[in-house]
Amino acid sequence: MLRSKSQKRFCKRLHLVRSIKFGSCPSPSPNRLGAGVEVMDQSSVTLSSGERFEASTVIWAAGIRAAPLTAQIPAERDSFGRLMVDSDLRVPGVQGVFATGDAARAACDNKGNYSLMSCQHATRMGAFAGNNAAAELLGIPTKPYHQKAYVTCLDLEAGALFTRGCEPKVEMVGDVAKKTKQEINTAWIYPPKPHRAAALAAADPERVIDL
Ligand SMILES: Cc1cc2nc3c(=O)[nH]c(=O)nc-3n(C[C@H](O)[C@H](O)[C@H](O)COP(=O)(O)OP(=O)(O)OC[C@H]3O[C@@H](n4cnc5c(N)ncnc54)[C@H](O)[C@@H]3O)c2cc1C
């Protein structure tokens, strides 16, 4: 239900595009159902129907899939094509194969939370998978993957938001959240500098970046 004038104004400028004609947006916005996005550039979106409209902010919610390479592993996969892995990120039943990042569905904790296809999960899972593959070759104990911290940081043109936890609680909004997103995108998600100490520190499975 759209109540405030500002919500109604926002929805007049909101275009919902969906390639299937199931359901519709309960708003006065112009819906484009049954047409997919063909082309996006800095200022517009062109649909498969040929229609083109101006857009300064585009939110893409089409979903993502694991790389087709996962299909070459004879093991169970989820609906995103991710390999189901055990707590050490090993693919059960396939000797010597660990899966990580977007290619794996792993339990993050013992509360029923599972990894998402995101940088923050992929970087930590990569550290555990690398550690565990090496540990297995060396015959030393492997370490169960866990994801102690989970945050979401969004920065759309109109504003920014930072939440913490799988049951998200808002911690920051506005400029401070925007600055945090910039720090994430320009520093935290990048691989370490090519120095031995920095590379080994980043590969430590127990390293937790606390924002
Ligand atoms: C447009 C977009 C925006 C995103 N924005 C965010 C965001 O804001 N925040 C966030 O947390 N996450 C975001 N993600 C998700 C995030 O990028 C991924 O979850 C993360 O990169 C997964 O890391 P990965 O190492 O598992 O896979 P990738 O980063 O995809 O790395 C896999 C690598 O394997 C290589 N590869 C694939 N097949 C083969 C093969 N057969 N042989 C050799 N190499 C191969 C690929 O070239 C690639 O370099 C975004 C993803 C997309 C597509």
Measured on CA atoms in the order 19, 22, 27, 30, is the torsion positive or negative? positive
Is the CB of residue 104 less than 8 Å from the CB of residue 122?
Answer: no
pLDDT tens column, 15-35: 777 776 555 445 545 677 788
Cβ pair 171, 163 in contact under 8 A: yes
Q: Which residues of the chain have pLDDT under 50?
A: 1-3, 24-25, 28
Average pLDDT for the chain: 87
Task: Check residue 127 and give its pLDDT.
Answer: 94
pTM: 0.81
Task: Tell me which of 83, 102, 108 to substitute to probe ligand 1's pocket, judged by most ligand atoms within 8 Å of the beta carbon.
Answer: 102
User: H or E element: which one contains 210?
Assistant: none
How many CB atoms are located within 10 Å of the residue 147 CB?
A: 20
- Inter-residue contact 22 to 34 (CB < 8 Å): no
- Closest CA to ligand 1's atom 4: 118
Token pair in block for residue 74: 């004879």
Tens digits of per-residue pLDDT, 169-192? Answer: 999 999 999 999 999 988 888 888
- In total, the chain counts a number of residues equal to 211
Strands 52-54 and 151-156: unpaired
Ligand 1 geometric centre to CA of 125 (Å): 13
Structural class in CATH, domain 68-147? alpha beta
Protein residues with CB under 6 Å of any ligand 1 atom? 64, 67, 69, 101-103, 117-120, 122
Task: Supply the pLDDT for residue 188.
Answer: 84
Interval between CA 67 and ligand 1 midpoint (Å): 9
- Residue of minimum CA distance from atom 20 in ligand 1: 119
Q: Which atom of ligand 1 is nearest to the CA of 118?
A: 19
Domain extent listing, the chain: 5-54, 68-147, 149-206
* Tens digit of each residue's pLDDT (9 = 90 or more) over 64-74: 899 999 999 99
Closest to 53 measured CA to CA, from 69, 37, 68, 66 = 37
Distances (CA, A) of 106 to 12, 100, 101, 198, 200: 41, 8, 9, 26, 23
- Which residue's alpha carbon is nearest to atom 21 within ligand 1? 119
